[in-house]
Amino acid sequence: MATKTEDINELSNIISTSVKTYLSHVPAPPTLRPAPPVFVTHEVAIQAKEEILLACRRMISLVEGPFETAVGMGVAFMDTIAMKLAYDMKLAQNVPPDGSSISLAELAAKTGAPEETIVRVMRALTLKDVFVETAPGHFAHTGGSADITAMDPMIGHLTEESFSSGPHVSDVLRENNWAVPEDSRKTAFSRAYNTNKNYFEYVYSDNKPMGTRFGKAMQSMSNAGGPANIVALYTPLESAPKGTTLVDIGGGIGHVAVAAAQKFPNIKCVVQDIGMVVGEGRDGLPEELKGRVEFQENDFLKEQLIGGPGVYYYLRHILHDNPDPACRDILSHIVNVMDSSSRILIDESIVDERMGPDGDKFAVIMDLQMLVMCNSKERTEAQWAALLKSTDERLVVEKVWRGKRGGTGIVEARLA
């Protein structure tokens, strides 16, 4: 394992062996050019990819040295500044999507930004292979810069409300003796935006464009990440009896429910949410699913409207938005209407207990994102089980369906 060694020769061997293994199990070698995403699904390739990344991270720590590592983390927000400027100046939208290049003068004319500003931003971005300078003063897309357009709503969410909330996190925690307040209305976000509302209450009433963008951000993340775990992993729905109900609690504009209804022809989906996302989802629903996917306005903190036997209650990226007491409220409303044949499906990160360079980078970043925006967290398998038990002694984990990619999965729970 790469984390066990500080020997750069050994690391270099690990990288070279893992690269060979990786290349022999993926359909095509990775490229920096804009190209449709290739999802790595082969177990061996996934393992090799992790080994490569891990060994490269350790190699960089060793070769760069402690100063670059520590100070580098201190200035990592400069990357966000460069990305924010690219987003706000619409650089990606003004570079030809077909991979050909554009001159600096043309880019300045199209964006209305001075050449000098563009050059400064491009220096930071091209350092990370986001855009490429094809000849002096000429720029073209890489996969990374093309993704700024594909992921536009997510980049906006991250570089605007998340970025401006981040600096407040220390004050929020310091005032609570460094414990995270179990209140989603007293967050770094609520401090940055001077509101007593939680993120969702705020964006669905005081800042609707931000709310619309958030719904699209969730959709763009789903598209980029490959099929949701309910579609990729949860095989019991393949043999579900006709008319089986899947309630997608906090399902946003219905992007996951639509994919689930397409994959499992016997199920019908009810997408529950609050705010204008319900109407936006209804408006965007594909014609052929109109009889099988419906939208319902429902506040999961207040009640669960759908009961009866055999119902699947699906919560994807819902409980990680909420501190434990609110999670217990959400789960107990389900418990009130479910029976022993119903299932709760929690589709979330299942955080690895390991520390160090082989930790799960995505889960670690998401955990801090949840802290900043919601005073909530990503949870380990033990924390999921404890949360269920503390909601209701009868609520037990039936099975954990682990995703192939990274530390995500579905925690399936039932009433004992």
Ligand X SMILES: C[S@@+](CC[C@H](N)C(=O)[O-])C[C@H]1O[C@@H](n2cnc3c(N)ncnc32)[C@H](O)[C@@H]1O
Return the CA Rg of the chain.
23
Q: Which amino acid is at 45?
A: A
Residues in the chain: 416
Find the binder of ligand X among 292, 316, 343, 379 (CB under 6 A). Answer: 316
374 binds ligand X (CB under 6 A): no
Q: Is 168 assigned a catalytic role?
A: no
Q: How many residues bind ligand X (CB under 6 A)?
A: 18
Alpha carbon distance 359, 311 (integer Å): 35
Q: 94 vs 298, which CB is nearer to ligand X?
A: 298
Find the binder of ligand X among 251, 281, 323, 409 (CB under 6 A). Answer: 251
327 binds ligand X (CB under 6 A): no
Cβ(193)–Cβ(167) below 8 Å: no
Q: Write down the least CB distance from residue 256 to ligand X, Å.
A: 6
Q: Write down the least CB distance from residue 215 to ligand X, Å.
A: 6
190 binds ligand X (CB under 6 A): no
Q: Which SS3 state, helix, strand or coil, does residue 408 take?
A: strand
Q: 11 vs 259, which CB is nearer to ligand X?
A: 259
Per-residue binder mask for ligand X (CB under 6 A), 211-230, x = binder: -------x---x--------
Number of C-alpha atoms within 13 angstroms, CB side, residue 7? Answer: 7
277 binds ligand X (CB under 6 A): yes
How is 106-145 classified by DSSP, letter by letter? HHHHHH---HHHHHHHHHHHHTTTSSEEEETTEEE--HHH
300 binds ligand X (CB under 6 A): yes
Residues 6 or more apart in contact with residue 171 via CB below 8 angstroms:
188, 191
378 binds ligand X (CB under 6 A): no
Q: Write down the least CB distance from residue 218 to ligand X, Å.
A: 4
**Best CA proximity match to 266, nearest among 245, 285, 251:** 245
252 binds ligand X (CB under 6 A): yes
306 binds ligand X (CB under 6 A): no
The distance in angstroms from the start CA to the end CA of the chain is 40
Q: Write down the least CB distance from residue 155 to ligand X, Å.
A: 16
88 binds ligand X (CB under 6 A): no
Number of C-alpha atoms within 13 angstroms, CB side, residue 305? Answer: 13
Residues 6 or more apart in contact with residue 112 via CB below 8 angstroms:
none
Q: Could you tell me which stretch among 108-116, 235-243, 294-302, 406-414 binds ligand X (CB under 6 A)?
A: 294-302
Find the binder of ligand X among 10, 182, 299, 392 (CB under 6 A). Answer: 299
CA-CA distances (angstroms) from residue 10 to 14, 19, 60, 262, 285? 6, 14, 14, 47, 53
Q: Write down the least CB distance from residue 162 to ligand X, Å.
A: 13
Cβ(396)–Cβ(344) below 8 Å: no
- Assigned token pair, 398: 């039936």
384 binds ligand X (CB under 6 A): no
Q: 250 vs 323, which CB is nearer to ligand X?
A: 250
331 binds ligand X (CB under 6 A): no
Q: Could you tell me which stretch among 31-39, 70-78, 245-253, 391-399 binds ligand X (CB under 6 A)?
A: 245-253
Q: 141 vs 255, which CB is nearer to ligand X?
A: 255
274 binds ligand X (CB under 6 A): yes
- Assigned token pair, 240: 């579900």
Catalytic residue among 157, 317, 320, 333: 320
Q: 26 vs 188, which CB is nearer to ligand X?
A: 188
Q: Could you tell me which stretch among 53-61, 106-114, 246-254, 406-414 binds ligand X (CB under 6 A)?
A: 246-254
**Best CA proximity match to 270, nearest among 307, 302, 301, 241:** 307
Number of C-alpha atoms within 13 angstroms, CB side, residue 34? Answer: 20
Q: 34 vs 254, which CB is nearer to ligand X?
A: 254
CA-CA distances (angstroms) from residue 87 to 80, 83, 133, 186? 10, 6, 18, 29
Can you give 309-337 as a three-state secondary structure string? CCCEEEEECCHHHCCHHHHHHHHHHHHHH
Q: Write down the least CB distance from residue 294 to ligand X, Å.
A: 15
113 binds ligand X (CB under 6 A): no
317 binds ligand X (CB under 6 A): yes
273 binds ligand X (CB under 6 A): yes
Q: Which residues are catalytic?
A: 320
Please report, as ranges, the residues that interact with ligand X according to CB under 6 A: 200, 218, 222, 250-252, 256, 273-275, 277, 299-301, 316-318, 321
